[in-house]
């Protein structure tokens, strides 16, 4: 079973729509062809979210969508969007907003494993806790 099958499907779709081959994407990102091959076959996925962002930028897609989240494939203003409660993963619009802030902070991506029915204050508290643990919280 391919662990990253959905990521691979989305990567192939985005590459097809952008008209880029694996060789083209490798040349434009600097990511090796063998690594890209593993991503395209669903066998592996980048650990570094900067690589995902770089790939998404070149393919002109939302990085959250490329990572498999319930997000729009492309955004109107080229900014990543976590869909609101009515259209996507999070059941509360405020939670979706907090989740977007967490998504934008690559050190906090572990919080995306939180339950989708989380209250925004709970998600914020978890993010603050991680920031404190990492010593990056401006409040404490």
With respect to residue 85, please indicate whether it lies within any of the assigned structural domains: no
Structural domain total, the chain:
2
With respect to residue 75, please indicate whether it lies within any of the assigned structural domains: no
Instruction: For residues 16 and 62, state if they share a domain.
Output: yes
With respect to residue 49, please indicate whether it lies within any of the assigned structural domains: yes
Of the candidates 80, 96, 99, the residue with the CA atom closest to the CA atom of residue 88: 96
Cα gap 54→88, rounded to integer Å: 24
Instruction: For residues 10 and 62, state if they share a domain.
Output: yes
The pLDDT of residue 33 is: 94
Domain boundary among 50, 66, 82: 66
With respect to residue 80, please indicate whether it lies within any of the assigned structural domains: no
With respect to residue 83, please indicate whether it lies within any of the assigned structural domains: no
Instruction: For residues 59 and 13, state if they share a domain.
Output: yes
pLDDT at 78 over 90: no
Phi, psi of 41 (to 5 degrees): -95, 0
The pLDDT of residue 127 is: 78
Instruction: For residues 58 and 97, state if they share a domain.
Output: no
Confidence of residue 79 (pLDDT cuts 50, 70, 90): very low
Question: Which residues span the domain enclosing 99?
Answer: 93-134
Domain boundary among 22, 49, 66: 66
CATH code at position 34? 1.10.260.40
With respect to residue 32, please indicate whether it lies within any of the assigned structural domains: yes
Query: Whole-number mean pLDDT of the chain?
Result: 76
Give the tens place of pLDDT for each residue, 41-56: 999 999 877 888 899 9
Instruction: For residues 59 and 102, state if they share a domain.
Output: no
With respect to residue 36, please indicate whether it lies within any of the assigned structural domains: yes
Instruction: For residues 19 and 62, state if they share a domain.
Output: yes
More confident residue, 109 or 3: 3
Domain boundary among 66, 101, 117: 66
């Amino acid at each position: 079973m391919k662990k990253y099958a959905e990521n691979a499907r989305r990567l192939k779709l985005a590459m097809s729509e952008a008209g880029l081959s694996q060789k083209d994407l490798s040349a434009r990102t600097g990511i090796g062809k063998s690594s890209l091959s593993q991503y395209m076959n669903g066998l592996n996925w980048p650990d570094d979210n900067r690589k995902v962002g770089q790939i998404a930028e070149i393919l002109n897609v939302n990085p959250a969508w490329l990572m498999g989240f319930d997000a729009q494939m492309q955004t109107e203003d080229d900014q990543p969007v976590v869909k609101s409660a009515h259209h996507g993963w999070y059941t509360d619009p405020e939670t979706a907003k907090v989740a977007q802030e967490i998504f934008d902070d690559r050190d906090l991506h572990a919080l995306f494993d939180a339950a989708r029915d989380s209250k925004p204050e709970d998600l914020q508290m978890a993010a603050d806790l991680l920031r404190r643990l990492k010593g990056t919280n401006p409040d404490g």
